[in-house]
Amino acid sequence: MKKEDLPQDSSALRDVTREVCYVKDDDGKYGQSLSTGWKVKADALDEAWADINDRVREAAEEVKSGKKSPVLFFMEVNIMDYPTLSGYTGFWKWTIKRHIKPSVFKKLSDKKLGKYAAAFKISVEELKRFDGGNIDKYIRK
Amino acid sequence: MEGILTNTSENNIKHIQTAHCENGVVTTLLRHHGVDFMNEPLAFGIGAGMFYVHLPFLKVNNAPAIAFRIMPGYIFRDTCKALGVKVSRKKFRSPVTARAYLDKKLEDGDPVGCQVGVFHLPYFPREYRFHFNAHNIIVHGFEDGHYIVSDPVMETLTKLTPEQLDEVRFARGPLAPNGQMYYPINVGEIDEAKLKKAIKKGIKKTTWWMTQVPMEQVGASGFNYTAKKIRKWRDQLGERRAALYLAQIVRMQEEIGTGGGGFRFIYAAFLEQAAEILGKDELIRFSEEMTKSGDLLRYNAVRMASIIKGRATAQQNFDEVADAMSEISALELKTFKELRKLRL
């Protein structure tokens, strides 16, 4: 890539930092140059976030209709998969899958709920109370 | 917590910004210990960071796991090893011991590398904060209640409170850092002969990874493996998911930390330097081939963006992306085979 071809598009890094790219200068020698972003990769990142938000909305619907427990919703909000949530809570994957069933979730002790609440950085109350409604504050704009 | 550090003494803090965090940590730490010639491309090349792999059964963020560079930690390990630098590495069970140990090192006046998770890293924009646990930062010291942090991908120094640093050092999940910290010890004199040997070793290792691993998913042939997959995605997954998979490739290839073109431009810069240091003009040609590969990857990212944005979603568009991947596969296979044969 030539130095003059280095894109300087707007990106989520705006106001945070520019990033280093390696480009050829006029003499054909490599050096560092700073870029504010590239539309192409901003599009890719946007798409990834659109998918995350879809999953969050879908999970909220499932909580609302009583098919899944709030654990699934907050797991999606925090972009966690089973290995990650397992790491933060200490529960096995299959245990988490059980806790995602509303009937099992209802009977969980506050101690166990506390582990999820800590992983999601919310209170046990917020976790218990979540009913699938009012999800705007959890969606990234 | 008890025993908050008092301000540490000056340690000639130098913030060096690099494209990739691990290259940055190697560069900053070695330069601090007097290895003046170290820079990002050299660290990347000597540490044999150049790579490609498509892990077929693993998913990251619900999309295929693809990497354009070697496994986390290898660059630091291999660069130091090749230059004969001893490294001390420590992991911890408890954040309290981890912090105490870090503080003790900082009081000695040396910067320390720390493995951290980015999900809770407060100075990153939220859009970039996924559960990626193999990010690397340098902690330089402590001042007015904050650790002084040099994050290689940032333009300037940043800072973290002790609680914030504990949190990112003890991020959980895959590749959990467990408070891992590391720093070079015994950086001896590194003369030109040693450097030359290290460069040759790094090149050799990269050509091995890129051409000799008998698995089609690994090395230059991996691009072709991805190409085969891409041809099927639209039918298998539908347009939306297929587009998301492509978005994952673009992100792994171009997202912050690659220097553009999936690390190919950094490697081209390394080969350019290697040509000069080793006095081997032939290497310039290989540098140019790497530039070509990086450029092809960038063009392909543009194609993929068209699919992602829904401007071009026919099977033919997926095939064009796949064709370009196959072309890159052939180019890199040829280049690295020849490089492997070159007498350095």
Q: What is the ipTM of this complex?
A: 0.94
Could you report the per-residue pLDDT of A90-102, keeping only the tens digit for each? Answer: 999 999 999 999 9
Could you report the per-residue pLDDT of B20-32, keeping only the tens digit for each? Answer: 999 999 999 999 9
The torsion angle over the Cα atoms of residues A93, A94, A100 and A106, rounded to 10 degrees, is -120
Contact B172 A87 (CB under 8 A): yes
Q: Is A32 helix (H, G, I), strand (E, B) or coil?
A: strand
Do the bridges between strand B181-185 and strand B86-90 make them parallel or antiparallel, or are there none, so unpaired? Answer: antiparallel
Q: If you count residue pairs, one on A and one on B, with CB atoms under 8 Å apart, how many are there?
A: 134
B176: left (phi over 0), alpha (psi -120 to 50) or beta: beta
Predicted structure pTM score: 0.95
Which residues of chain A make contact with B293, given a CB cutoff of 8 A?
none
In tens digits, chain B (344 residues) has pLDDT values of 334 556 666 667 889 999 999 999 999 999 999 999 999 999 999 999 999 999 988 888 889 999 999 999 999 999 999 999 999 999 999 999 999 999 999 998 889 999 999 999 999 999 999 999 999 999 999 999 999 999 999 999 999 999 999 999 999 999 999 999 999 998 888 999 999 999 999 999 999 999 999 999 999 999 999 999 999 999 999 999 999 999 999 999 998 789 999 999 999 999 999 999 999 999 999 999 999 999 999 999 999 999 999 999 999 999 999 999 999 999 999 999 999 999 98
B250: left (phi over 0), alpha (psi -120 to 50) or beta: alpha
Helix (H) or strand (E) holding B260: none
Q: What is the pLDDT of residue B188?
A: 85
Q: Which of B172, B285, B293, B302 to mutate to test the interface with A (most CBs of A within 10 A)?
A: B172
Position B196, amino acid: K
Q: Is B90 helix (H, G, I), strand (E, B) or coil?
A: strand
Asked if the model's pLDDT at residue A31 lies above 80, the reply is yes
Q: What's the rounded mean pLDDT across residues A44-63?
A: 96
Q: Is B103 helix (H, G, I), strand (E, B) or coil?
A: helix
Which residues of chain B make contact with A88, given a CB cutoff of 8 A?
172-173
Which residues of chain B make contact with A84, given a CB cutoff of 8 A?
131, 172-174
Q: Give the pair of three-digit tokens for residue B225.
A: 């493996």
C-alpha A52/C-alpha A69 separation (Å) is 18
Let me know: does B178 contact B116? Beta carbons within 8 Å: no
Q: Give the pair of three-digit tokens for residue B20.
A: 């990739």
Asked if the model's pLDDT at residue A44 lies above 60, the reply is yes
